[in-house]
Amino acid sequence: MEAKEPIIITEKEEMRKWSRFARAQGKTIGFVPTMGYLHEGHLSLIREAQKHAQVIVVSIYVNPGQFSLNEDLSTYPSDFLGDIEKLKSLPCGIDAVFSPRNLYDYGDGCGRSRLEMAHRTEGNAISCVEENGGGGHQTWVAVERLGKGLCGKSRPIFFRGVATVVTKLFNIVEPDFAVFGKKDYQQWRIIQKMVRDLDFGIKVIGAEVVREDDGIAMSSRNVRLSPDERKQALSISRALSKAKVAAEKGGLVNCKDLRDVVIKTIEEAGGRIDYAEIVDQESLEPAEVIEMPMAFCVAAWFGSVRLIDNVEINV
């Protein structure tokens, strides 16, 4: 079967017109936002979207609004042509790729490169998308409570940037359904809450974590692990899998004991823990005892690479 060639759209108004034309034809629109460098995890999100909608839009945009000065915007991997080939390889293909050149107003800095602007900071804010003499970006979306724990502790502006860019993408693409991976568990819950609170007419679907054959959660950052770090990083998924089994069988219901076992396993393998928390699946509030559906969420460093993973514990 001949590969389906998606239309590539770079302008916001053209994207809106495309979506509205599809809707005028009675078609439902599924949307999968990505930052590119696609892997099987992303493709699984697209296949999930195809179950719910008649036409599919995938966005490819590395969002500077979620990166702080000491984070890895400059090293975030990119392979746009390779991404298009992967999208074409899907059995049903997709219909459109939205790859905007820029989604922010930089005031007088619009001629600067993405990397240069990302390294202009003012306090804890990212000045590449901040107000610049009154002419730059000023409006942010923040889901206050859900964004404070887990990744929000070490990345205090991250979810503000995510919620803002997703809001912008929703307003441009105007989808009926949007699919997010549960690997980014906190992000998925934040987007769900944002959609509810701001009355978006969009159903947000969470897709299960996709793993490599050895169990590691698929991530664009995995390519930056050395061979030894890759082996060490397997400790996250293995420890979480054992914790899930133990909790669901009722063997370990004390959250501190379960956390201690997982932290010890990862640290003995050479990882540095950012956090290991057992939280309520919806509120993301930490718990002391497992007596309701929970999520065990972990972030750990292996070398210079920060990885996240989680399992749902259903009791």
Active-site positions read 42
Q: What are the phi and psi torsion angles at 160 (to 5°)?
A: -60, -45
What's the CA gap between 294 and 312, in Å, rounded?
A: 6
Distance CA 296, CA 273 (A): 14
Give the burial class of 47: count Cβ atoms within 10 A of its Cβ; 0-12 exposed, 13-18 middle, 19 or more buried: middle
Contacts for 160-163: CB closer than 8 Å, 24+ residues apart: 160/65, 160/66, 161/63, 161/64, 161/65, 161/66, 161/67, 161/126, 161/129, 162/63, 162/65, 162/66, 162/187, 162/190, 162/191, 163/190, 163/191, 163/194
CB 217 within 8 A of CB 208: no
Strand positions, DSSP E, 222-271: none
Which residues 6+ apart lie within 8 Å of 218 measured at CB? 39, 40, 41, 183, 210, 211, 212
User: Cα separation of 163 and 234, whole Å?
Assistant: 30
H/E stretch holding 13 reads helix 12-24
Instruction: Convert 73-130 into a string of H (helix), E (strand) and C (coil).
Output: CCCCCCCHHHHHHHHHHCCCCCCEEECCCCCCCEHHHCCCCHHHHHCCEECCEECCCC
Closest CA to 288 of 275, 296, 279: 279
